[in-house]
Structure 1
Amino acid sequence: MLEKIKKIFRSTTSRNGSYSVGMIVLVIGIAVVVNMIAGQIPESYRNIDVSDNKIYEITDTSREMLKSLDKEIKFTVFAEKDSTDERIQTFLKKYTGLSDKIEVEWVDPVLHPSELTENNMEADGILISCEETGKSTSVTFDDILVTDEYSYYMTGSSSPTEFDGEGQFTSAINFVASGETKKLYYTSGHGEQTFSSSVTELLEKNNIEGEEVNLLMTNEIPEDCELLMLYAPTADISEEEKERILSYMSEGGKVFIILGEMEGDAPNLDALLNEYGMQREEGYIADMQRNYQGNYYYIFPEITATGELAEGLSSDMVLLVNAHGLTMTDAARDTISVTEFMQTSSQAYAVTEETQEEGTYTLGAVATETISSEEEDAEDESSDSEEETKESRLTVVSSDSLIDSQLTDNLATLENLDLFMNAVTSNFDDTQNVAIEAKSLEITYNTMKHTGVTGMVAIVGIPALVLLFGFMKWWKRRKA
């Protein structure tokens, strides 16, 4: 019996079987080791984004903010982990894995309902908090997976159309870590436009609180005003309002004017612009060189912005429609400096019913002035007074189409809102634009646009090579 067993193990079949078993064990061992090593790789590098429209892709803005984070942040997720949408789980891991300052804790609201009451939260929400600043805010799953409400009323059903994980998280961390809210006042009483929901959302993501102010009803611009905005007034401001704005700027105030369609002359607004070296031109601007598919009044401006204004702009795809132009003039004081950040090509025209004036026109500019004032040291009256400097700033965009929702909401590749938010946040000290737009969840179909050589190779060539190789192998074995 023993000899028979030895013969079995000495046979070719037995040796081949032993070899196969050994190779299987070796492969399994290698797979276990590779998985153990892979498990130690940080989550941010372990997940490769193969999603449609790159919903898990994290911008440089968020990466830089997370890299410089110096405060401990806690994400408390009030949800059943197993039933949470996989997209939210995946993005949460990838995002929080970019910083060792972020702690994530899952709390099951079914097992611990009292936690919801104690933290004033509802199920399917994330509480983002910072113990050092004492600030906290919440992000619901509905804020991340945004549903089109109109489709529900039209069809009776709805599904998520946008993914806003990065925008919500980055805005929340920026808020709880800084603990500061900026104040913007927008004027009324001159036929001004109102912000679209897209603009309002971006302002909120940057922790900028907007409030209306009527300068004719107030004796002065509010003390907490950090930026005063005139959004496409259709009527001129009064002489009194002009003087009030100039007085505000003389103390280091910041003003942002977006020009629109004016009804009649605007001598007071023009005087305000002229004070800071800008002059409105009559007519619409047509650009023969930088336009959209031969539509001369649809202009792609030359973006010459630098520093904070250029932050995050990658393609310079900014589109303006029916824009008016500005020309630079001598400012009222030598202390005022004007920098253009958006202009036409040299082949542009200011077109009215009677004339066509050729030239290069400014479409966006910033005027700054350093304001010096002396303050006495209250503790020591005999000491010398100290000089305090402030910077007043006037930002002017010559077309309200920069933030027109008909452009920005329908043409996702445009960087209009990025440039606008950069122009807004550059008015605040130690603030950068961290507002990130939501990503579309609409399906992108992979279609063959050009059925030429590439299509023939993929459809016919590769299968033919595989068949030829197989036939050659078969023929060789048949002859052997």
Structure 2
Amino acid sequence: MNKVKKLFSNSQFKNGNYSALLIVVVIAIVVVVNMLVRQLPGSMTNLDMSDTLIYSIGDTTKELLSNMQKDVTVKVIAENGSVDSRIETFLQNYADSSSHITVEYIDPVLHPSVLTEYDVSEYSLVVECAETGRTKTINFGDIIVYDQYSYYQTGTATEQEFDGEGQLTSAIDYVTSDNLKKVYLLSGHDESSFSTAVQDLVDKANLETASWNILTDGAIPEDCNLLILYAPTKDLSDDEKNALTEYVNSGRNLMILPTVTGEPLQNLTALIQEYGLQLTNTYVGDEERYYQGMGSPYNFFPTLTSSSINVSSDAMLFVSAVGGMTQVEQPAADLTIEPFMTTSEQGFVLDPDTQDKKEGSNGTYLLGATVTKTIDENTSGKLIVLTATTLIHESITSSFRNLDNLDEFTNMLTWYFDDTSNISIPAKSLEIPYNTFVSIGGWSLLFIGIIPLTALVGGFVVWLKRRKA
């Protein structure tokens, strides 16, 4: 009997008892912590480790969600277990970020009527706001975008972009907005048309677009919130010029993107001059900020002035073969002119006769300016003249993905409206990034070589000493 008592009272038993108790306590703590963590929203517990942060919600979306007053339901129309995990995670982040957002999953196999009810196909999101009665559909193919060119080259379509935030934020803004805007594109002068990338951003900004010809369709519609004349190559008629002047002078919104043509467009030039700006009607270059990779001063990075229209004063924009303008010496007293994009002081104009730099033309030329015409205390007409028309040309926006050209243009569109902000969010790349090491610096050598090698040597020495002991 005494031997048994000694067995349970010796130090080994006490140490073992203490260890067992400690293990139980630690396990209990882990279980409790795990239960608490599971109650936290996914946005706090799931770290976005993707290369381009495809799951993260940006500041534009955060501001939209924080100001939401209406409830929105996102219905995922897909067979159970077939939704891409990236889409599921992204949707959960939205639901965790706002109590006004609810995500529902509906299996069309079990509930086939949902397809006809919302007139959608399988693998779609239906964003719905009961208060406004609006719905918007997003196809999965518009969220995870594939490079179709790779299919023709290799037989396999590769993932190119993840546009979850751009599509969903735009849809939420659309279904909850009280006042949607309509934009008309003026036609009849061999104008250019928006590229797919530009049209996508306009659509994301929830600006409905339509075409209008003043001569054949008549007076500018009353529901026109913004009229755009994009790179016309034929001149306005006298009637069209007068109609546009009356349109702006009645307190409405106009955007003109003039391009350089063989012969100056007299009526268009005169219309712009009425609002305090004089077109150069020839190309401008920049000997200070030109892109040396192209070797021509007519391909350059514009200078942005301090303006609410700009993405930021240090945003990177690039243009090629654009015209310029100057401000008239004595604009009308009711005009407020604010340049937002210029050349540097080393700008110049092309002499159309010699096809070379015009002598004595060095100086700063305007590439973009806003004009506000005050009608009365409560009414003003707004005009943007952007001679840098290639800012949104597909050859530039598709070749230089790191530019802010499209963001800048979207800011111009929303500048006209006090109740509209730029919620157009570009898609995020899914292409595999590659790290390029120009040279191995001191810090790289320390973390890649010295520290791992020291750890290996130290571990080997400790192992060797214990083995001999």
Same fold (TM > 0.5): yes
Aligned to 2:206: 207
3-state DSSP class of the match of 1:291?
coil
For 1:192-271, list aligned pairs within 5 A: 192-271=191-270
Query: Are 2:425 and 1:469 equivalent residues in the alignment?
Result: no
Q: Counterpart of 1:366 in structure 2: which amino acid?
A: T
More displaced stretch, 316-325 vs 465-474: 465-474
- For residues 441 and 15 of structure 1, what CA distance do their matches in structure 2 show? 58
Give the Cα separation in 2 of the matches to 1:467 and 1:148: 45
Question: What SS is found at the alignment partner of 1:174?
Answer: helix
In 2, Cα distance between equivalents of 1:138 and 1:179: 19
Q: Structure 1 residue 281: deviation in Å? A: 1.4
With over 3 angstroms needed to count, the CA separation of the structure-2 counterparts of 1:419 and 1:305, relative to structure 1, is: farther
CA drift at 1:456: 3.1
Residue in 2 aligned with 1:334?
Answer: 333
Which of 423, 440, 445 is the equivalent residue of 1:434? 423
Q: CA deviation at 1:123?
A: 2.2
The CA distance in 1 between the partners of 2:169 and 2:260, in whole Å, is 36
The amino acid that maps onto 2:379 is K
Q: Which shows bigger deviation, 208-217 or 37-46?
A: 37-46
Q: Would the aligned equivalents of 2:305 and 2:313 in 1 still touch at CA under 8 Å?
A: no
Q: Is the 8 A contact 1:66 1:99 kept in 2?
A: yes
Match of 1:285 in 2: 284
Give the gaps of 5 or more residues in structure 1: 373-387
Which of these residues, 402, 407, 422, is aligned with residue 411 of structure 2? 422
Report the AA paired with residue 300 of structure 1. Answer: F
Equivalent AA in structure 1 for residue 424 of structure 2: A
3-state secondary structure, aligned to 2:97:
coil
1:391 shift after superposition: 1.5
Deviation of the 1:282 alpha carbon: 4.4
1:159 partnered with 2:158? yes
Q: Which runs of 5+ in 2 are unaligned?
A: none
How many Å apart are 1:338 and its aligned residue? 0.5
Instruction: Compute the RMSD of aligned alpha carbons.
Output: 2.4
- Give the superposition deviation at 1:67: 0.6
Q: Give the distance between the partners of 1:331 and 1:210, measured in 2 at CA.
A: 36
Residue 162 of structure 1 aligns to a residue whose secondary structure is strand
Partner of 1:64: 63
Alpha-carbon separation, structure 2, partners of 1:110 and 1:19: 57
Distance change (3 Å), C-alpha of 1:17 and 1:393 = same
Shift in Å, 1:278: 0.3
Instruction: Supply the distance in 1 between the matched residues of 2:62 and 2:297 (Cα, whole angstroms).
Output: 39
1:184–1:225 CA contact under 8 A, matched in 2: yes
Could you tell me how far apart the structure 2 residues matched to 1:460 and 1:223 are? 70
Q: Which residue of 2 aligns with 1:88?
A: 87
DSSP-derived class of the 1:204 partner? helix
Assess, with a 3 A threshold, how the Cα gap between structure 1 residues 477 and 20 changes in structure 2: closer, same or farther.
Answer: same
2:365 partner letter: Y
Question: How big is the shift at 1:344?
Answer: 1.5
Q: 1:314 to 1:163 in 2, by over 3 A?
A: farther
Counterpart CA distance in 1 for 2:52 and 2:297 is: 32
Contact 1:313 / 1:418 at 8 angstroms: preserved in 2? no
Matches within 5 A, 1:394-409: 394-409=383-398
1:329-368: per-residue Cα shift (whole Å, max 9, x none)?
1465311111101111112222323514100111100111
Which residue is equivalent to 1:146? 145
Contact 2:318 2:405 in 1 (8 A): yes
Instruction: Judge which range, 332-341 or 467-476, deviates more.
Output: 467-476
Residue 72 of structure 2: aligned partner = 73
What is the TM-score when the length of structure 1 is the normalising length? 0.89
Aligned to 1:366, the other structure's residue is in SS state strand
How many residues align? The count is 462
SS at match of 1:88: helix
Counterpart Cα distance in 2 of 1:69 and 1:151: 40
Aligned to 2:307: 306
Which residue in the other structure is 2:365 paired with?
361
CA shift, 1:33, in A, is 2.3
Q: Is the 8 A contact 2:7 2:13 kept in 1?
A: yes
In structure 2, what residue type is equivalent to 1:298? N
Q: 1:359 to 1:104 in 2, by over 3 A?
A: same
Change (3 A) 1:180 1:159: farther
Distance 1:479 1:23, change over 3 A: same
Is residue 402 of structure 2 the alignment partner of residue 413 of structure 1?
Answer: yes
Report SS of the residue matched to 1:52.
Answer: coil
Contact 1:318 1:415 in 2 (8 A): yes
Separation (CA, whole Å) in 2 of partners of 1:208 and 1:112: 34
Kept in 2: contact 1:78–1:123 (CA 8 A): yes
What percentage of residue pairs aligned between the two structures are identical? 43
Helix, strand or coil at the partner of 2:48: coil
Alignment correspondent of 1:169 = 168
Task: Say which SS state the counterpart of residue 390 (structure 2) adopts.
Answer: helix
Question: What amino acid is aligned across from residue 89 of structure 2 in structure 1?
Answer: T
Kindly provide the amino acid, as one letter, of the partner of residue 441 in structure 1.
Answer: L
Contact 2:146–2:159 (Cα < 8 Å) also in 1:
yes
Aligned positions of 1:447-466 closer than 5 A: 447-466=436-455
Of 442-451 and 126-135, deviating more is 442-451
Aligned to 1:296: 297
Closer/same/farther in 2, CA of residues 107 and 478 from structure 1, 3 Å limit: closer
Tell me if the contact between 1:325 and 1:361 (Cα under 8 Å) persists in the aligned partners: yes
2:78 is matched by which residue type in structure 1? A
Which residue is equivalent to 1:370? Answer: 374
CA distance in 1, matches of 2:17, 2:438: 53
Instruction: Between 130-139 and 219-228, report the one with greater CA deviation.
Output: 219-228
Cα pair 1:337 1:369 within 8 Å, conserved: yes
Give 1:143's aligned amino acid: D
Instruction: Tell me how far 1:20 sits from its aligned partner.
Output: 4.1
Contact (CA 8 Å) 2:304, 2:314: kept in 1 or not? no
Q: Deviations over 1:294-324 (max 9, x none)?
A: 64222222212523x13x5484111111221
What TM-score do you get using the length of structure 2 for normalisation? 0.91
